[in-house]
Chains A and B, each alone.
Chain A
Amino acid sequence: MRIVVALAAAISVFACTPAKASQAPAPKMAATGDTAAHSKDTVSTAGAGALSLPNADPYPSTYKPFPSKPTVIKNVTILTAAGPRITGGSILLQDGKIAAVGASVNAPADAVVIDGTGKFVTPGIIDVHSHIGDYPAPGVEANSDGNEMVRPVTAYVWAEHSVWPQDPQFPRQLAGGVTTAQILPGSANLFGGRSAIVKIVPSRTVQGMKFPGAKYGLKMACGENPKRVYGNKGGPQTRMGNVAGYRTAWIEAEQYRRKWDKWLKDRKGDPPARDLNLETLAEVLRGNILVQMHCYRADEMAQMIDVSHEFGYKIRAFHHGVEAYKIADLLAKEGIGAAVWADWGGFKMEANDAVRANLALVSQAGVHAMIHSDDPSGTQRLNQEVAKAMEAGKEIGIDVTEDQAIKWLTINPAWALDLDSKIGSIETGKDADVVLWSGDPFSVYTRTDKVWIDGALLYDRDDVKEQWRTDFDLGYVPLAGGAQ
């Protein structure tokens, strides 16, 4: 009986995060009292598949926006990521949202007014590939929690259970203008586990950082890493072994999904046994979890696309994709995003054909193109990475404007997380995740001046009292300027 009650509660939770998760309010635990009503509603409206998860949100977000004051930034250049720039414009942040934007805005009398003359405003940067928190600094073995390298299929692990909110890399990432990140498990495994989508805010718990309503991602990896790690540990030892590994797992996941979907429809007998691994994979097959796939080589990406067709799931984005430019047309046709570096390459054979025009080339082909870091240093300067990629495009005759390039940092990664209705552009009604830059964000001399998340000022370069210091920073890391 207890099991049945728990399941009913769980199903109701899941009802809050169906396919249109981005429109839904933050999922709430059953304790809110809506259980029965939601349960009924769910049965009639959501797809049968959506019912099958024993508990879609067992570790719910407790994030609440920080206190904020209505804030106006005026006389500023705004790169909106939603259209042409607004020069000499104004933006109003109020009650956590972008309340108004344009040539001028009506600000409440009590608003904080910031003169942005000579400065730029952009949406908060979104890094879809981060390991901050699961590979924290200092990089000691005791905290190395990013890669469950025990077997090639570990879809059962969830990155959030590794994330240390006191990682001193978080405030540095925020100071670089990043307001949302996807924290992924590492790439040793064919199936690495679920990602955590977080707002970059101080918190005692990872739950307090989790982006409300965000779908999970599933980290998958192809190529050298799995075969290198497992070559002498039972395999896969080859790329063909990798593919056999994905297929075997998907076959099991398909059976598992059918079994659960049938039980949820009929409710006859005992529910099937739960399997954490297959629960995640089944949710991918139902379209409720987004596949974020580490893959370097063009031919391998094409193979992965075929695997996805064979089992009827979508790959949301290829990560790293150093050869994405070789199959930009295929990625565009399939509607798969490309999350890439500006100029990393050569650190292993599958990264050897990296070119700096990758972003420009895939973007030109109509792919959802985005920058990503995979690195606690790079994440602090994603604007600089994009500036390099813009120039690389220009050098081969692809003229990328700043209004296009800003999308590589904001709205396109928001799309990769299926959060583009909430974040990623400067538009009325969106989360007030906003960066004020000292100048053009694509200049090497520009720095972030201020960063807001949901309208709350969380970083101010000029005010040490508005700079987050993690527990680790205390006593270990000298205050900037302190010893000068």
Chain B
Amino acid sequence: MKQITRHVRYAIALAASCALALPLSAQTIAITGGKVYPVSGPPIENGTVLMRDGKIVAVGKDIAIPSDAQKVDATGKWVTPGLVNAYTNLGFGDVGFSAGPRELRAKRGDGIASGFATWEGYNPQSTLIAPAREGGVTSALASPNGGLISGQAAIVDLMDAIALKDVIVKAPATMVAQIDDDESAKVGAKGELYGRLRDLIEDTKAYAHRKADFERGQTRDYVASRRDLEAMIPIVEGREALTVEAEQASDIEGMLALAKEYGLKLVIAGGAEAWKVADKLAAAKVPVLTGAMNNIPQTFSSLGARQENAAMLRKAGVAVALIGNGGGDEEMFNVRNIRYEAGNAVAYGMSWDDALRGITLAPAEIYGVSDKVGSLRPGREANVVIWSGDPFEFSSRAEAVYIRGKKVDSPSRQDMLEARYKTLPPEYNTP
């Protein structure tokens, strides 16, 4: 009996603390006095960011602050857009392989899962979202992996929510494919892989023109199901990005040729050897998602991996979004570490401004959401971070994080564990 009472009390305490942690309702907030990095324009010393009803309404030096605005003094602080991590598996599970599945890989046998709408398994309440936010990440591409066509990815905002519809920024944002690993792609060789891609593209085109015939069973067999072909239509029409994981320079060249032939809107992810074909990528206006923390010839297709990759691509004029590539589960547990990837990119030759752009506006532009996230401009979602200092430095922290104008500061599970065990023995009947 006594035991039950204690548990009930604990539950009540937890519920109360959660209620307290809920964000204030949207209102007018003015962040003043900070060094503001809009990314879409030059930095503003002693700038103001004004947000209202979840949107940014003004950014600049001499902004009139409405009397009803809540003022947040950011003197001595740095203010940036919320970071956009363009390659994560966030929301598709909390724990790795020995504790149940991560909802990010289709099980279909033929490696083509274009109809797989990954985000339908996205959980906005994953315990890994709060740590990501604490690292200043406010939006993420939640992406599938594996196979040849892995599935479709969405961009989500990392707010406290239960319903998927409340967090979606764009779904689908891109189709994801990978051509680096033949085994995962269910092919025996690259030549076979390109053949399968061509079949899929050509069948999609045929299907798109003959949907009625297809329904009546008056077409030849296509290589993919109706759902998969439907999902491929915006890809073959060049309306939606096709993000292809490829590492080797010759594979990237192969994809560039295929994209040109069929008019695809290609994005390269990984791109260990992209620096070798930087000029071609720039000429084709094909962006690259890559990191700055991998220099290991881990496979025979990534022998040229180097930390200068991102900087060299940028110098050649390629649009670069920075993603984690240094290991350590940066797709899920350590989505928060994207800012250190940017810092390392700077250490390996990228300009600081380009590095900040690489984790904010660049991914937003690549995936067609720059009208919503990635910069501090009027009309954008009020995703804003106040930093204690240079956001790329280990000694800096995100002091305040706003998503759609609401301050989000509910503690992460990790915070709770630290609080509990800071003094030993721990107190078990507090949250």
Whether chain B is bound by chain A comes out as yes
Check if A347 sits within 8 Å of B329, measured CB to CB: yes
Check if A444 sits within 8 Å of B347, measured CB to CB: yes
Check if A378 sits within 8 Å of B327, measured CB to CB: yes
A134-162 vs B, CB cutoff 8 Å, 1 = contact: the mask equals 00011110000000000000000000000
**What residues of A have a CB within 8 angstroms of the CB of B119 in the complex?**
none
On whether A391 and B397 interact (CB within 8 A), knowing A168-B297, A378-B326, the answer reads yes
Instruction: Please pick, from B306, B332, B346, B397, the residue contacting A346 in the complex, using a CB distance under 8 A.
Output: B332
Task: List the A residue with the shortest CB-CB distance to B345.
Answer: A444
| A438: min CB distance to chain B, Å | 9
**What residues of A have a CB within 8 angstroms of the CB of B312 in the complex?**
484
Check if A483 sits within 8 Å of B418, measured CB to CB: no
Check if A349 sits within 8 Å of B417, measured CB to CB: no
Question: Does A109 sit at the interface, judged by CB under 8 A?
Answer: no
**What residues of B have a CB within 8 angstroms of the CB of A351 in the complex?**
96
Question: Does B382 sit at the interface, judged by CB under 8 A?
Answer: no
Q: How far does the alpha carbon of A361 sit from the alpha carbon of B419 in the complex, in Å?
A: 11
On whether A377 and B293 interact (CB within 8 A), knowing A347-B96, A478-B304, the answer reads yes
Check if A349 sits within 8 Å of B98, measured CB to CB: yes
On whether A346 and B328 interact (CB within 8 A), knowing A391-B395, A447-B347, the answer reads no
Check if A480 sits within 8 Å of B306, measured CB to CB: yes
**What residues of B have a CB within 8 angstroms of the CB of A376 in the complex?**
296
Task: List the A residue with the shortest CB-CB distance to B327.
Answer: A377
Question: Does B424 sit at the interface, judged by CB under 8 A?
Answer: yes
Check if A483 sits within 8 Å of B347, measured CB to CB: no
Task: List the B residue with the shortest CB-CB distance to A375.
Answer: B327
On whether A444 and B333 interact (CB within 8 A), knowing A352-B99, A387-B394, the answer reads no
Find the residue from A329, A445, A484 having the highest chain B CB count within 10 A.
Answer: A445
| A169: min CB distance to chain B, Å | 6
Task: List the A residue with the shortest CB-CB distance to B308.
Answer: A480
On whether A396 and B419 interact (CB within 8 A), knowing A137-B297, A391-B394, A480-B306, the answer reads yes
Question: Does A224 sit at the interface, judged by CB under 8 A?
Answer: yes
Check if B304 sits within 8 Å of A443, measured CB to CB: no
Question: Does B207 sit at the interface, judged by CB under 8 A?
Answer: no
Which of B146-154, B197-205, B230-238, B336-344 is the contact stretch?
Answer: B336-344
Check if B98 sits within 8 Å of A444, measured CB to CB: no
Find the residue from A325, A343, A381, A442 having the highest chain B CB count within 10 A.
Answer: A343
**What residues of B have a CB within 8 angstroms of the CB of A480 in the complex?**
306, 308
Question: Does B299 sit at the interface, judged by CB under 8 A?
Answer: yes
**What residues of B have a CB within 8 angstroms of the CB of A380 in the complex?**
295
Check if A347 sits within 8 Å of B97, measured CB to CB: yes
Instruction: Please pick, from B99, B295, B394, the residue contacting A172 in the complex, using a CB distance under 8 A.
Output: B295
Question: Does B101 sit at the interface, judged by CB under 8 A?
Answer: no
Instruction: Please pick, from A381, A444, A473, A483, the residue contacting B276 in the complex, using a CB distance under 8 A.
Output: A483
Check if B297 sits within 8 Å of A346, measured CB to CB: no
Check if A352 sits within 8 Å of B297, measured CB to CB: no
On whether A348 and B418 interact (CB within 8 A), knowing A168-B297, A480-B308, the answer reads no
**What residues of B have a CB within 8 angstroms of the CB of A205 in the complex?**
none
A359-393 residues with Cβ-Cβ distance < 8 A to B are 361, 365, 375-378, 380-381, 384, 387-388, 390-391
Q: How far does the alpha carbon of A484 sit from the alpha carbon of B304 in the complex, in Å?
A: 12
| A65: min CB distance to chain B, Å | 27
A383-417 vs B, CB cutoff 8 Å, 1 = contact: the mask equals 01001101100011100000000000000000000
Check if A483 sits within 8 Å of B299, measured CB to CB: no
Question: Does B116 sit at the interface, judged by CB under 8 A?
Answer: no
**What residues of A have a CB within 8 angstroms of the CB of B327 in the complex?**
375, 377-378
Question: Does A467 sit at the interface, judged by CB under 8 A?
Answer: no
Check if A344 sits within 8 Å of B329, measured CB to CB: yes
Task: Name the interface size band of chain A.
Answer: 35 or more
Check if B300 sits within 8 Å of A138, measured CB to CB: yes
B164-187 vs A, CB cutoff 8 Å, 1 = contact: the mask equals 000000000000000000000000
Q: How far does the alpha carbon of A343 sit from the alpha carbon of B297 in the complex, in Å?
A: 24
Q: How far does the alpha carbon of A444 sit from the alpha carbon of B337 in the complex, in Å?
A: 12
Check if B306 sits within 8 Å of A444, measured CB to CB: no
Question: Does A355 sit at the interface, judged by CB under 8 A?
Answer: yes
| A357: min CB distance to chain B, Å | 5
Task: List the A residue with the shortest CB-CB distance to B98.
Answer: A348
Check if B296 sits within 8 Å of A381, measured CB to CB: no
Question: Does B303 sit at the interface, judged by CB under 8 A?
Answer: yes
Check if A361 sits within 8 Å of B393, measured CB to CB: no
Question: Does B95 sit at the interface, judged by CB under 8 A?
Answer: yes
Q: How far does the alpha carbon of A294 sit from the alpha carbon of B104 in the complex, in Å?
A: 29
B73-101 residues with Cβ-Cβ distance < 8 A to A are 94-99
| B363: min CB distance to chain A, Å | 20
Question: Does A356 sit at the interface, judged by CB under 8 A?
Answer: yes
Check if A384 sits within 8 Å of B329, measured CB to CB: no
Task: List the B residue with the shortest CB-CB distance to A343.
Answer: B334
| A467: min CB distance to chain B, Å | 12
B343-363 vs A, CB cutoff 8 Å, 1 = contact: the mask equals 110110000000000000000
Check if A326 sits within 8 Å of B426, measured CB to CB: yes
| A167: min CB distance to chain B, Å | 10
**What residues of B have a CB within 8 angstroms of the CB of A471 in the complex?**
none
A316-346 residues with Cβ-Cβ distance < 8 A to B are 325-329, 341, 343-346
What 18 new A-B contacts, CB under 8 Å, besides A344-B333, A348-B96, A361-B422?
A: A137-B297, A137-B298, A168-B296, A224-B98, A228-B98, A327-B424, A329-B425, A347-B97, A353-B417, A361-B418, A378-B328, A381-B293, A384-B344, A387-B394, A387-B395, A444-B340, A444-B394, A480-B306
Instruction: Give 18 pairs: A residue, B residue, CB < 8 Å, sorted on A.
Output: A138-B299, A138-B300, A329-B424, A343-B333, A346-B94, A346-B329, A346-B333, A348-B96, A350-B98, A361-B422, A375-B327, A377-B327, A378-B328, A391-B394, A445-B346, A476-B303, A483-B275, A484-B312
4 A-B pairs closest in CB distance: A444-B343, A387-B394, A347-B96, A346-B333
